[in-house]
């Protein structure tokens, strides 16, 4: 089952400094049928104006992954962590028992990010933050694991949930396949096209379209034009 979520049909809000689109119910956007997908709770497509951002605010018991599409995001938190994450790179904040953080676009151009929230499998652990570069050349023609809750994915940023976030860059007419993790239970996949246009098991997706996927033994992603895709495989 592949449920296409066209970008132009997503809910959202434009706050001037922030133009946000929501793949799932979030803030003032409510859709009873889109409260989440398995343990995936939020996938926001945010455009943050230059020299603006999110002032300090709290989170707890949530795995928050930020994938930077364009520009850069600067993070500061109550643990004393500070970092700047550039396009193509990823940061992960495990909110645990509680953390306050701020995210700013300190650049001279608009920053575009995907921010993804996944419910952790264990509550009440200590909060943490980390970031890592993932050169797009390393993802050419194949999926690379960016964040993971599985022990075998040692090069990925750790998350506290049995999920895996992957990214791939494909040239026109290139294809890549992916088989969901086998954990003995249902898997809930969500794929978003960061750039370009692809076909997933025969379903065409344009830039910033999403697809909720379940009960597919294997995915074949074919680039209809040069493309960049991000895929989350969760419980």
Whether residue 191 contacts residue 229, with contact meaning beta carbons closer than 8 Å, is answered with yes
SS3 33: helix
Residue in the structure block whose two tokens are 């996938």: 43
Residue in the structure block whose two tokens are 């119910």: 25
Distance CA 37, CA 40 (A): 5
The DSSP secondary-structure symbol of 226 reads S
Confidence of residue 137 (pLDDT cuts 50, 70, 90): confident
Buried b (16+ CB within 10 A) or exposed e, 116-151: bbbbbeeeeeebbbebeebeeeebeeebbbbbbbbe
| Average pLDDT of the chain to the nearest whole number | 97
Q: How much is the pTM?
A: 0.97
pLDDT in tens, 185-220: 999 999 999 999 999 999 999 999 999 999 999 999
pLDDT score at 136: 84
Residue in the structure block whose two tokens are 């370009």: 196
């Amino acid at each position: 089952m592949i449920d296409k979520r066209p970008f132009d049909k997503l809910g959202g809000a434009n706050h001037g400094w922030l133009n946000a689109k929501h793949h799932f119910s979030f803030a003032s956007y409510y859709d009873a049928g889109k409260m989440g997908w398995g343990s995936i709770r939020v996938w926001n497509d945010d455009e943050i104006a230059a020299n603006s951002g999110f002032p300090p605010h709290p989170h707890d018991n949530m795995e928050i992954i930020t994938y930077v599409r364009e520009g850069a995001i600067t993070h500061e938190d109550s643990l004393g962590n500070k970092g700047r994450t550039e396009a193509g790179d990823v940061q992960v904040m495990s909110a645990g028992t509680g953390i306050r953080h701020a995210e700013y676009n300190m650049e001279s151009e608009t920053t575009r990010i995907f921010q993804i929230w996944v419910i952790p499998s264990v509550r009440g652990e200590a909060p943490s933050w980390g970031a890592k570069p993932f050169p797009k050349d390393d993802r050419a023609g194949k999926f690379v694991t960016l964040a993971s809750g599985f022990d075998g994915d040692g090069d990925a940023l750790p998350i506290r949930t049995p999920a895996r976030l992957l990214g791939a860059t494909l040239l026109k007419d290139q294809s890549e396949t992916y088989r969901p993790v086998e954990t003995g239970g249902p898997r809930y996949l969500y794929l978003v096209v960061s750039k370009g246009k692809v076909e997933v098991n025969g379903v065409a997706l344009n830039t910033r379209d999403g697809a909720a996927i379940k009960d597919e033994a294997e995915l074949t992603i074919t680039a209809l034009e040069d493309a960049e895709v991000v895929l989350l495989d969760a419980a």
